[in-house]
Structure 1
Amino acid sequence: MSTEAIGQSFQDIVCQEVQSRRPREGLRAAFATVAREMGITVRRVRACWHHEVRSVAAAEWDAARRVQRRRLEADQARIAAQLAAIEGRLASLRCDL
């Protein structure tokens, strides 16, 4: 990956993390939460939000990818649980017929 592509991907990951928390926490608190989880400053998160980041350190890139992976794994587990519940309800409806 080129330096520009890594920078864009980093900003995209940070923005996705902020967006996922924004409805529950609000924008300002989402910035703080994402900054704390990624080990970067709130100012850095805000710069990502406005797509103003010029370079990304390797540690920042690794932290962003770890946070994104944890969120995706949590989403996958939640969706799997929902799917299992739906399959259970369908099975009970099939038995009733």
Structure 2
Amino acid sequence: MSGSTLSDQFQNAISAEIEARRARGLKAAFSEVARLFGLTERRVRACWHHEIRRVSADEFETVRARRRALLMQRHEQLEREMAALAATLDAEGLTL
């Protein structure tokens, strides 16, 4: 994988997490995402603005693994919500 592709994927993963937390403001989102991935707020902000030129393999793998874990958590939460909704609708005699 080329360096620019790696950098783009890295920045896109960070940016997606920022976007998911943006409701409370960018500054709060930068801070939270920095804590989540073990990065500095400055590095996270640079990812948001797509200013990163180099990403180490270790840094990329850490972010990739953590992002995957976060997506799995969201997926499980959505499955629970869908099951609860389906149960409620079944109890009321409705269907999805």
Q: TM-score, normalised by structure 2?
A: 0.87
Q: Which has the larger radius of gyration?
A: 1
Report the 3-state secondary structure (helix = DSSP H, G, I; strand = E; otherwise coil) of the residue aligned with 2:68: helix
| Higher helix fraction (1 or 2) | 1
In the alignment, is the contact (CA less than 8 A) between 1:40 and 1:60 conserved in 2? no
Q: CA deviation at 1:89?
A: 2.0
Q: Which residue pairs with 1:61 in the alignment?
A: 60
Q: In 1, distance between residues paired with 2:88 and 2:79? A: 14
Q: CA deviation at 1:93?
A: 2.9
**Percent identity of paired positions between Structure 1 and Structure 2:** 39
Equivalent pairs, count: 94
Q: In 2, distance between residues paired with 1:76 and 1:68? A: 12
Q: Which residue pairs with 2:90 in the alignment?
A: 91
Q: CA deviation at 1:74?
A: 1.5
Q: In 2, distance between residues paired with 1:60 and 1:33? A: 17
Unaligned runs of 5+ in 1: none
Q: Does 1:3 align with 2:8?
A: no
